[in-house]
Homo-oligomer: A and B are copies of this chain.
Amino acid sequence: MTARKPARNRRSAEQMLVELKDRLREISDLIAAGDVLNWDQATYMPEGGASARGRQLAMLYRLAHERAVAPAIGTLIDALTRYGDSLPYDSDDASLIRVARRKYQKKIKIPADHVARATAHSSASYDAWTRARPANDFATMVPYLERTLDLSREYSSYFAPYRQIADPHIDDADEGMTTASVRKLFSELKHQLVPMVRVICEQPAADDSSLRQTFAKAAQFDFARSVAESLGYDLKRGRLDLTHHPFCTRFSAGDVRITTRVSENDLGDALFSTLHEAGHAIYEQGVSTALDGTPLGQGVSAGVHESQSRLWENVVARSRDFWEHFYPRLQRIFAEQLSSVPLAVFHRAVNKVARSLIRTDADEVTYNLHIMLRFDLEIKLLEGELRVKDLPEAWRAAMQAHLGIAPFDDRNGCLQDAHWYSSYIGGQFQSYTIGNILSAQFYAAALKAHPDIPHEIASGEFGTLHTWLRENLYRHGCKFVPNDLVEGATGATMNMQPYLDYLHEKYGALYRLPASTSDGGRGTV
């Protein structure tokens, strides 16, 4: 009897695990089906399809949500907790039970009626914003933003107690981070960046006129796709299509797609948009296929995800080594436009630093300042320190303080990003800067293990870097929380030193810079 009992329990746990996986796979597949419909809507759907498509998408995501909060899932997870604890922490099954529990416990805290109200409000607000932004009409958006703030605070209340009201939102995007930890990180980074931007912008601006000629769209598209493929984006398990707003979407381990846009008069737009999305996709394609169809089978937090789009787009594809290899190819494709533009001029053009009003047009150095001011403002709004009606003026003041320029109108100011007008306020922006910081930290760790990586890049080889990232980061999917993942891969918690070193080295070669004053501002992601 005693000999058989554990065996019987074990069998039963395994059966329950099979049932849990079946249920989770159905949820994952419903979301994937919705994502296919979304991709189609953004790429090929005829305009007549819009209204039925909205209904079909809402139905799929509703079915997925109903299943995700089903009490039967909770029962299975509870019954499997002890079994999970008996397995090695980093095993797939222990991780699955652990992560599924965390996600389930979060989801069931949010009442269904809140989800319905928040979804309906987001749609209405986004719809109003699409008209208000071009009309420069902030006044219309005030009541929407006030309601968004109420809903954002209501959302936080489901996760009480918390230290600060934005914490639940930040944790959703970047698990393990808080208002306080982001603030500490940003304060140190700002201390370094503001003087760097000032010094650079006092020097003559880089000449990027070479990028502003006329370039045939099809040739741009083909070049961007072939570079993405060279970096390691597998087109047998993905594809590149055109859209208004580039994105990356995953339907399964074998089908991770990206989209881009092409501008005839801006050579950088299609290329770097494509490589940014390819970075996200290379991450998703690198997740262990054993995790496919489970909650572990995708990249972890927004910040870590962004680190990979930034690593491939900026650290790799805006490097001098990279262009040593690819610029001659690009010159052959656009001989008329580029044959008389030297590599050094082209490299400086794709790394031009300038004060600008629009976040999405900002360069690598000033970008973080755009993020920080948004982060400050959304915390102040959420905490009631700033009133919605005072947002435009606060925006202008912060732009002046951070970047030394300010917009004349709201369309180029606080109306420019969709985020606050289509989702919650709180936790919407910090991931971009966390991504920048981590991109350098991951790259530095890869370089430490394989110092030859820059030489490989200069020969158009990315295999060593790609393999290191896959082994140390990608394959784990979201088995581990971001802090553990970063520490496991780089041997250190998230810290700014590699990023500051990267900026100083790179922009020190392009501009005269002040000496670094940082101690690295250690923090946790």
Q: Hey, which bits of chain A sit against chain B, CB under 8 A?
A: 25-26, 29-30, 32-34, 36-37, 40, 44-53, 55-56, 59-60, 63, 234-239, 241, 251-255, 257, 292-293
Would A254 and B59 count as touching, CB distance under 8 A?
no
Whole-angstrom distance between the Cβ of A365 and the nearest chain B Cβ: 36
On whether the beta carbons of A234 and B48 are closer than 8 Å, the reply is yes
Assembled-state Cα–Cα distance A251/B257 (Å):
22
CB distance from A119 to the nearest CB of B (A): 17
Determine if B33 and A37 form an interchain contact, defined as CB atoms under 8 angstroms apart.
yes
Q: Do A236 and B60 contact each other (CB < 8 Å), given the known contacts A51-B254, A52-B32, A52-B254?
A: no
A194 to chain B, nearest CB (A): 45
The docked-state distance in angstroms from the alpha carbon of A237 to that of B53 is: 12
Q: Which chain B residue lies CB-closest to A238?
A: B46
Q: In the complex, A30→B37 CA distance in Å?
A: 12
| Contact (A33, B48) CB under 8 Å given A40-B40, A63-B63 | no
On whether the beta carbons of B48 and A254 are closer than 8 Å, the reply is yes
Chain B CB within 10 Å, residue with most, of A34, A46, A236: A46
The distance from the CB of A302 to the nearest CB of chain B, in whole angstroms, is 24
**CA distance in complex: A50, B255 (Å):** 8
CA of A236 to CA of B48, assembled, Å = 6
Residues of B within 8 A of A26 (CB): 59
Counting every copy of the chain, the complex holds 2
Binding site of A, secondary structure by majority: helix, strand, loop or mixed?
Answer: helix
Q: Which chain B residues lie closer than 8 Å to A37 at the CB level?
A: 33, 36
In the A-B complex, the 9 residue pairs with the smallest Cβ-Cβ separation, listed nearest first, are A48-B254, A52-B252, A49-B255, A48-B237, A29-B56, A29-B59, A49-B254, A48-B236, A46-B239
What chain B residues lie within 8 Å of A253 (beta carbons)? 48, 52
**How far, in angstroms, from A29 to B254 measured CA to CA in the complex?**
26
Contacts of A251 in B (CB 8 A): 49, 52-53, 56
Contact between B33 and A56, CB atoms less than 8 A apart: yes
> In the docked arrangement, what's the CA distance between A456 and B47, Å?
30
Q: In the complex, what distance in Å separates the CA atom of A63 from the CA atom of B239?
A: 29
Nearest CB of B to A232, in Å: 14
Q: Kindly state the separation between the CA atoms of A437 and B59 in the bound complex, as whole angstroms.
A: 41
B44 in contact with A59 (CB, 8 Å): no
- Which of A47, A56, A60, A251 counts the most B-chain CB atoms under 10 A from its CB? A56
For the complex formed, measure the closest distance between the CB of A452 and the CB atoms of chain B, giving whole angstroms. 30
- Residue of B whose beta carbon sits closest to that of A52: B252
A-B contact pairs, 27 of them (CB 8 A): A29-B52, A29-B56, A29-B59, A30-B59, A32-B52, A33-B33, A33-B56, A36-B36, A40-B40, A46-B237, A46-B255, A47-B254, A48-B234, A48-B236, A48-B252, A48-B253, A49-B237, A49-B251, A49-B252, A49-B254, A51-B254, A52-B251, A52-B252, A52-B293, A53-B252, A55-B293, A56-B252
Chain B residues near A60 (CB, 8 Å)? 33
Extra contacts, 12 of them, besides A30-B59, A33-B59, A40-B40 (Cβ < 8 A), are: A25-B55, A26-B59, A32-B56, A46-B255, A47-B236, A48-B237, A48-B253, A51-B254, A52-B251, A52-B292, A56-B251, A56-B252
